[in-house]
Amino acid sequence: MRYIRRNRLLVMGIVIVGAIVGMTILAPWLAPHSPTEALEGQRLLPPSWEHPMGTDNIEQDMLSRVIYGGRVPLLVAFVSALLSLLVGVMLGWVSGYFGGYLDRVLSLCMDAIYSFPSLILAIAIVAMLGPGILNMILAIFLVYIPTYYRVVRGQVLQVREEEFVAAAHSVGASHWRILMRHIAPNTITSVLAIIPFNIADAILTEAGLSYLGLGLSPTLDPNDLAAADWGIDINKGQKFLQGGHWWLITFPGLMIMLVSLGFGLIGEGLNDLLNPRRRQRL
């Protein structure tokens, strides 16, 4: 506990992420307007007291859109990171523990995916499956499996050689029991520190896809609340950049940066916390 309080990075990260997630959940109560409401005669207004983040080209209040805009990115990032975690960790356990032919094939596949630019892979998947939240989750989930797989497999290879594993074998424990009771718990700490970085990366990938117009369906009804998405808003605001309408892109982008920074800080903090040797140095 003492370490957690002394760990400023972790605390900063948790505060940022907590604030943004809270804002997103409480959006209906916090937003002054509906994100899709057209406020008559208030087109492309710069930030003012009435509209702290200005209004866009279809007379919507940017503050409200920014407050709502985190729903899709956060949902996509959380769900896809959870799925990558589950699949990646399980494959890592099985591959590392049983080794052999299965391990070789899996490792090759994972290395192949890992070496490929994740955004381009995600773009290819979404381009073929078509836009939409589910397809985005599927694309981002597939792309980040190797991140977990590689770390977990490496850990299992180490732990497998420990004497307590040999001891468990000698008293006749089943493979399943050894994997679950003796090996798995020893790999969890290294996984923990990856999760925040993975979520941060997933948020950036979602934002990138949305910015490129491959995220949510472009034909989505603009009155649909899901149409308020930071990446999409930047895509739409970009056209008005040359006219000097800076507020259309600045605030949604700032949110993307803040939330992924928050997760990055949590990751750094966790690293310090879980890795005592590094902790001494920092």
Partner 1 sequence: MSFWQYTVTRLALTVPMVFILLSAVFVVLRIMPGDVCIVVYGGRGRSEDIQRCQEQLGLNKPLLAQYADYVAGIARLDFGISMRTNKPVLQEILAQVPATLELALAAMVIAVLIGLLTGVGAAVYTDRPLDHGMRLFNVIAFAMPIFWLGLILQIVFAVWLKIFPVGGRLDPITGLSFEPITGLYLIDSLLRADLGLFVKVLQHLALPAITLGLVLSGVVGRISRANMLEVLDKEYVKTARSKGLPEGRVIVHHALRNAMIPIVTVIGLQFALLLGGAILTETVFNWPGLAQYLLRAINARDYPAIQGTVIFITLFISTVNLLVDLFYSRLDPRVRY
Q: Which chain residues interact with partner 1 by CB under 8 A? A: 108-109, 111-113, 115-121, 123-125, 127-130, 200, 204, 207-208, 211-212, 214, 234, 238, 241-242, 244, 246, 249-250, 253-254, 256-258, 260-261, 263-265, 268, 281-282
Angle at 64 between CA 58 and CA 69, to 5 degrees: 95
Cβ proximity to partner 1, 183 vs 256, nearer residue: 256
What is the smallest separation between the CB atom of 169 and partner 1, expressed in angstroms?
A: 32
Please provide the distance, in angstroms rounded to a whole number, between the alpha carbons at the two ends of the chain.
17
Q: How many CB atoms lie within 10 A of CB 78?
A: 15
What residue type is assigned to position 226 of the chain?
A
Phi/psi for 55 (5° steps) reads: -130, 160
What is the smallest separation between the CB atom of 262 and partner 1, expressed in angstroms?
A: 8
Cβ proximity to partner 1, 170 vs 242, nearer residue: 242
Cβ proximity to partner 1, 4 vs 241, nearer residue: 241
Cβ proximity to partner 1, 178 vs 209, nearer residue: 209
Best CA proximity match to 198, nearest among 86, 80, 110: 80
DSSP code of 30? H
Cβ proximity to partner 1, 39 vs 258, nearer residue: 258
What is the smallest separation between the CB atom of 206 and partner 1, expressed in angstroms?
A: 10
What is the smallest separation between the CB atom of 98 and partner 1, expressed in angstroms?
A: 20
What is the smallest separation between the CB atom of 73 and partner 1, expressed in angstroms?
A: 10
C-alpha distance from residue 73 to each of 140, 182, 191 (Å): 11, 37, 22
- Specify which residues 61 forms β-bridges with: 55
**Is residue 194 helix, strand or coil?**
helix
What residue type is assigned to position 251 of the chain?
F
